[in-house]
């Protein structure tokens, strides 16, 4: 990556940290939400060795920002460009829909994701499964955890053929199904 890409990535991290500052994960430790976007960066950059295009890494840090904060798509475009906004929009659930419908739509739309969005979606599922296996939310019983693992497997199936190492990491995370 070029120095300017590192600057943009750092700007995205600072922006995401500020926007998610009061949010917590649902895990047993109630860890800071920003740990999740950082985990995606770890999966993509360090584990899968995806060093570019930088838009993938930047959008990974911002992937939940429209869904979980008051950030508007126009603001993302102004700060990070239309491509980042569009990538984040591809990965954003419509929170006005019931949760079951949002989950169904993720599976239905997975095959139509752009190649860059597919990388982020895979990293997101890897991170979520790892967290669920190591520190499940206290109010999630065994049946609910297993159902999430099963849903994640279905959501990733249309993404097969995207990136061999990410798929290997996903399968490893999936193998920890309770």
Catalytic residues: 67-68
The number of helices, as runs of H, and strands, as runs of E, in the chain is 10, 0
In whole angstroms, what is the distance from residue 70 CA to residue 73 CA? 10
Q: Which residue has the tokens 């060795």?
A: 49
In whole angstroms, what is the distance from residue 120 CA to residue 59 CA? 8
Where residue 108 falls (left for φ over 0; alpha for ψ -120 to 50; beta otherwise) is alpha
**Under 8 Å between Cβ of 58 and 8:** yes
Cα distances from 38 to residues 58, 140, 175, in angstroms, run: 11, 24, 23
The two structure tokens encoding residue 141: 């019983």
């Amino acid at each position: 990556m070029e120095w300017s890409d590192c600057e943009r990535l750092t700007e995205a991290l600072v922006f995401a940290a500020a926007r998610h500052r009061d949010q917590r994960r649902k895990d047993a430790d109630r860890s800071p939400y920003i740990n999740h976007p950082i985990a995606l960066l770890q999966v993509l950059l360090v584990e899968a060795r995806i060093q570019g295009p930088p838009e993938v890494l930047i959008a990974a840090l911002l992937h939940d920002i429209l869904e979980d904060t008051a950030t508007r798509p126009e603001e993302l475009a102004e700060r990070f460009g239309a491509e980042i906004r569009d990538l984040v929009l591809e990965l954003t659930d419509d929170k006005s829909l019931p949760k079951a419908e949002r989950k169904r739509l993720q599976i239905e739309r997975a095959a139509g994701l752009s190649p860059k969005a597919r990388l982020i979606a895979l990293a997101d599922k890897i991170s979520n499964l790892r967290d669920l296996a190591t520190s499940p939310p206290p109010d999630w019983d065994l049946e609910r955890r297993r159902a999430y693992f099963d849903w994640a497997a279905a959501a990733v199936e249309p993404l097969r053929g995207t990136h061999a190492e990410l798929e290997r990491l996903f399968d490893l995370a999936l193998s920890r199904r309770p």
